Amino acid sequence: MDAFKEEYSIHEWQNILSEFHRIKEHYLDHAGTTLYSEKQIEEAYKDLSQNVYSNPHTSKSTEDLIDQVRSRILDHFNTDSSSYHVIFTSGTTASLKIVAESFDFSGENSQFCYLRDSHTSVLGMRELVGCAKISSIEKCELLSITKSANNHIPKANNSKSLLVFPAQCNFNGFKYPLKIIERFHSKNLPENFHGSEWYICLDAASFVATNYLNLGIYNPDFVCISFYKIFGYPTGLGALLVNKRAEHVLKKRYYGGGTVKIAMSQINFHEKRDSLHERFEDGTISFLSILSLLHGFNTLQRLVPYYKNGMKTMERISKHTFNLVKYLRNRLAALKHYSGKNVVILYADTDYSSNKLQGGIVNFNVLHSDGSFVGFAEFSYMATIFNITIRTGCFCNPGACQRHLELSNKLVKEQFQAGHICGDTNDLINGIPTGSIRASVGYMTGLANVNALINMIEKCYCRESRIVDINCITEVYKTLPRAKSKNIKIKMICIYPIKSCGAYKIYDEWTVTSYGLQYDRDWMIVTEKGVALTQKINTMMCLIKPHIDKILQKNDSFLSRNGKY
């Protein structure tokens, strides 16, 4: 098993840790959102507290600063304003929606094609695109395009088609080869893609969080990103990068404040602005959040300097995160029950041998010693006890989830009919998992965080041998009354009506509902502001003992501590 390879120096680690004092848990959900540094927020606050920024529609100076941010974004991706426009949006989802609403699918051969293993936000584009032909493409088919050659280059025509795929799968971190883009632009494609001019929309949200997207080499027509994935702050801000090659295929209909040269009220007349981002940024953009991006870029370059070994900051972060997940994957794969069976089943599309193909994610499920699945909801609760933050479910990627869990369309619908919906805790239906567990790392994740997850699985789920030689049992033990009984009786059951509080003991019969034991974890205590209290916030909650009044058949739970109500 390969040992973990450290990318950062001791001095660099000291600098990183000095800006994340508040993090007391083992945070392993960086694919959900990464964490912001404390100095990053301090610098943003200092900027806002010492300056006055007006609405960019009012202040030319604010508008100029925003343009500087646009330039910084393009520089981060090794391109500039001569090649790409930057349209600010609320995030990747909003960027994808703009493309779906605005792309000109004119021509009889136009089609919308998306990778099956795509985020739900890509699937939603099907409802908006203005073309009759909508199709999906499997992972293996998309990859085969990079390997096959077609000497027949079809003639150009007026039909325009759109392919959408992720730079990195948010389910398991598989990186798609970006040379796919050049294949589609060069028209060196299989025959089923002939008859149209192809444009590429790259969902880069997962990829850019810990990898270097070099738009100087690869030239997708549209790139969709969310900045909280990269910096942790601000949230609710993203961008659509539009290649100038493709700006003419975006036909905007709606217009909001600031996007027109003229608009008249009494007659239906308006003319949109010339600049692409001015036409698409309806109303006042989130200018204070946009200005705070500069502190995000500065933070990355300060904590992970780009000069080491000639690698850029994001290239170093990619290497660091890959080294972590490679170590994690290998350790998980090595875990065994006493029977020799695997403790973990991995859902991967690579062998974790290269960060060119694999990003900072490990996706898996845990198995009992008999081979049955541990529910991801149970695992999530256990992780919380061990102070680990980790993501479970299908991660808004139903295609990848279905493929790796080997769920047929029929079975997925049956699970839905049985009550399972996206984001719930129905983790096992008839013993079959409805989702999985995803561990993802960021630039500030350390080996201790990854080891905490491994140790938790070893402690809670690795089963040692429990086989006892019957000949070793003493004759005295065999004569005990309980040894003669073949029937096992339950003397008591404990339920926890109020989350994080003490148990309510049941000595008699009890109702079992479709959600489990009646009243189990039905209530929680909240503050005046509606924030749920847990033992993480107040450890004294374990002293609260609920009492359920069964005689009156009420759904009332009374709190007691030290025998007092």
Catalytic positions are 396
- Give the list of residues 6+ apart from residue 331 with CB closer than 8 angstroms, or none: 1, 450, 454
Q: What is the number of residues in the chain?
A: 565
Q: Are 320 and 7 in contact (CB under 8 A)?
A: yes
Closest Cα partner for 387 from 321, 452, 458, 462?
Answer: 452
316 φ, ψ to 5°? -70, -40
The pairing of strands 222-226 and 238-243 is antiparallel
Q: Is 84 left (phi over 0), alpha (psi -120 to 50) or beta?
A: beta
| Strands annotated E in 297-381 | 344-346, 361-366
CB 287 within 8 A of CB 58: no
442: CB partners within 8 A, 6+ apart: 27, 30, 34, 35, 209, 210, 321, 360
Across-strand partners of 363? Answer: 438
Tokens linked to 494: 């404990």
Q: For helices 447-461 and 376-385, give the axis angle rounded to 10 degrees.
A: 120
Q: Which of 400, 421, 402, 419 is nearest to 410 (CA)?
A: 402
Q: Which of 376, 382, 384, 363 is nearest to 438 (CA)?
A: 363
Distance CA 427, CA 435 (A): 6
Strand 238-243, strand 260-264: pairing: unpaired
